[in-house]
A and B are shown apart, each in its own frame.
Chain A
């Protein structure tokens, strides 16, 4: 029993569980949209591109979230602009833009004297969360969750068939930018937990796990949240007992969940497919 209860003895660990599960659930909800829209790479790009924004915000003395948000949007928007005005394909443009911005952030960081630890930004520091960060994360995360869930049908429509949104005079462009904005904000909120490098896993893996398990979107949301919550709890436990990076343990647990789903999922798993048991038309 003490194996399971030990981690709950300290306030730090309890806060870590609360924030970890909350952030993982928020990312899981968004991940369903990203996976279906084919924006996985976008999540990766935006998460790296926030670094210069964070450093600049630190230098100027404004909340780091604002800088990160602005620089994430700059990455996404400039990618779209370059793609439309050149012959280079989108994934290539994105690769150049986000690595360039990330490198710029690293240079800025190394030239800026600060109390910040680079590895906390890169891989997160869920155990070192302060009270104000705790409440900020809950507040911002709730906002993201509420907006996403209220507008989920519209967001789903622009993932599925943006043309239909357009012919019904729905604001498809606005919805696209809204999804992008929610993504950038979610990355900022999650940095404390898993850091820049691993946040994309939280924004992609739960959605892909859920997509393997179900054919209904509302169920997909539930499965994504459940798998993200489970992996977070397991990840924190493991990291506590083997004294490893918490963020990395969470992401590793999710990855294992994905592999398991890939093999064992009832309808789209490899075993079912191999046996040819998948129900036909």
Chain B
């Protein structure tokens, strides 16, 4: 990406947001992130995840506290096209008469003049972005004629075309096939390597340790934040979710007779989160994860 390894910063300090109907959605939320990072935003429905997103996108004015991006207030960061977002599939009107190319081009509007006539550089960026998510062959398709995974990739391409450095994804894997999910994760890691901050709002607890290196736990305020291994613990998750998670504990199960290990599963979605015997996280592919951690420690050296 263009600005190389220039490190970006996202700082949320004492953020409180109240809506017109008096509902206090967030109270004194604070955390900070330095790029590159893939950070999961985890919490129950109504915990303020989308309010936090909306604050970072400048949609809501905080009652107190602040959001700063690279030391700038949100408004200034938006003017520099630093923030990009990928909406949830349900928020998009898929009948809309726009093509894949049109949607990706919308990411360039901020850089164009007021007539929004694409220049050569805009077309190059859009082509690059569509190729990067393997959607170039579909550029003339109407967006409703795509599969769930393809739809997601179109909006990722828009974020890429925009050149956003703080990228917000809302439930990126809902309705997405496994192959696309892995492709998206590879892309997110590339963006992280380029210094981007990627903030992922998700219910899919099981997928968090697979690709997120940071976690922000939220319930009307920030309960905990930091590296996944430190924050994504049973105690923290219990605090964030109260009793709403389904728990399967196999203390009395015959599993232990088979291999003598206790396993504990937390689930809020189709993919469960699994804690091993000492409360450490179980990864789908432990070796891959350790490889990632090793790579990351090298990157930071």
Q: Is A262 an interface residue (CB 8 A)?
A: no
A5 within 8 A of B: no
Counting CB contacts under 8 A, is B59 at the interface?
yes
Interchain CB contact (< 8 A) of B99 among A159, A160, A169, A215: A215
- Chain A window 143-174, contacts with chain B (Cβ cutoff 8 Å), 1 for yes, 0 for no: 00000001101101101110111111110000
Asked if residues B99 and A168 are in contact (CB atoms below 8 Å), the reply is: no
Query: Contacts A157-B109, A163-B85: A168 and B78 contacting too (C-beta < 8 A)?
Result: yes
Q: Are B93 and A160 in contact (CB under 8 A)?
A: yes
Which residues of chain A come closer than 8 Å to B92, judged between CB atoms? 161
CB distance from B55 to the nearest CB of A (A): 12
- How far in angstroms is the closest Cβ of chain A from B22? 11
B199 at the A interface (CB under 8 A): no
A120 to B199, CA, bound (A): 58
- Contact at A154–B106, with CB atoms within 8 Å? no
In the complex, whether B229 has a CB less than 8 A from a CB of chain A is no
Cβ–Cβ contact B57 & A36, under 8 A:
no
Whether A163 touches B87, Cβ cut-off 8 Å, given contacts A168-B109, A169-B78, A217-B102, is yes
Chain A residue at smallest Cβ distance from B95: A211
Asked if A85 and B75 sit within 8 Å, CB to CB, the answer is: no
Q: Does A281 contact B (CB under 8 A)?
A: yes
Identify the closest chain A residue to B82 (Cβ).
A167
Q: Is B83 touching A215 in the complex (CB atoms < 8 A)?
A: no
CB-CB under 8 A for A164 and B96, given A169-B75, A217-B102, A281-B145: no
- Residue contact A154 to B116, C-beta cutoff 8 Å: yes
Complex-state Cα separation, A160 to B81, whole angstroms? 19
Asked if B147 lies at the interface with its beta carbon under 8 angstroms from chain A, I say yes
Chain B's interface size range is 35 or more
- A169 in contact with B142 (CB, 8 Å): no
The answer to whether A154 and B75 touch across the interface, beta carbons within 8 angstroms, is: no
Q: A161-B87, A161-B92 are in contact. Are A211 and B97 (CB under 8 A)?
A: yes
Known interface pairs A153-B116, A163-B59, A279-B145; A168-B110 also in contact (CB < 8 Å): yes
- When distances are taken between beta carbons in the complex, the residues of chain B under 8 Å from A166 are 57-59, 78
What is the total number of residues of chain A having a CB less than 8 Å from a CB of chain B?
29
Provide the residues of chain B in CB contact with A151, threshold 8 Å.
Answer: 114
Which of B97, B146, B158, B164 is the one whose CB lies under 8 Å from A216? B97
- Contact yes or no, B84 A215, CB < 8 A: no
Partner of A167, one of B78, B115, B142, B147: B78
Residue among B79, B93, B97 facing the most chain A CB atoms (10 A cut-off): B97
| Residue pair B85, A164 in contact (C-beta under 8 Å) | yes
Q: B162 contacts the other chain (Cβ, under 8 Å)?
A: yes
User: What residues of chain A lie closer than 8 Å to B78, measured between beta carbons?
Assistant: 166-169
A168-185: which residues lie under 8 A (CB-CB) from chain B? Answer: 168-170
Taking a contact as CB atoms under 8 Å apart, the answer to whether A215 and B142 are in contact is yes
**Shortest Cβ gap from B54 to chain A (Å):** 9
Query: Residue A220 at the B interface, CB < 8 A?
Result: yes
With known contacts A161-B87, A167-B57, A168-B162, A153–B109 Cβ distance under 8 A: yes
- Asked if A84 lies at the interface with its beta carbon under 8 angstroms from chain B, I say yes
What per-residue 1/0 map shows which CB atoms of B144-175 lie under 8 Å from chain A? 01110000000000100010100000000000
Q: Is A245 an interface residue (CB 8 A)?
A: no
In the complex, B183 has a CB within 8 A of chain A = no
Indicate whether A281 sits within 8 Å of B147 (C-beta atoms), given known contacts A161-B92, A163-B57: yes
Q: Could you tell me the distance in whole angstroms from the C-beta of A54 to the nearest C-beta in chain B?
A: 33
A36 to B78: give the CA distance in the assembly, Å: 26
Q: Is the CB of A164 within 8 A of B145?
A: no
Q: Does B20 contact A (CB under 8 A)?
A: yes
Residue numbers of A with Cβ under 8 A of B are: 36, 84-85, 150-151, 153-154, 156-157, 159-161, 163-170, 211, 214-217, 219-220, 279, 281
4 more contacts with CB within 8 A, not counting A165-B109, A168-B107, are A160-B98, A163-B87, A168-B109, A169-B81
- 16 sample A-B contacts, Cβ–Cβ < 8 Å, listed by A number: A36-B97, A153-B115, A154-B116, A159-B96, A161-B92, A163-B57, A163-B91, A166-B59, A167-B57, A167-B58, A169-B75, A169-B81, A219-B97, A279-B145, A281-B146, A281-B147
Binding site for A on B (CB under 8 A): 20, 57-59, 75, 78-79, 81, 83-85, 87, 91-93, 95-99, 102, 106-107, 109-110, 114-116, 142, 145-147, 158, 162, 164
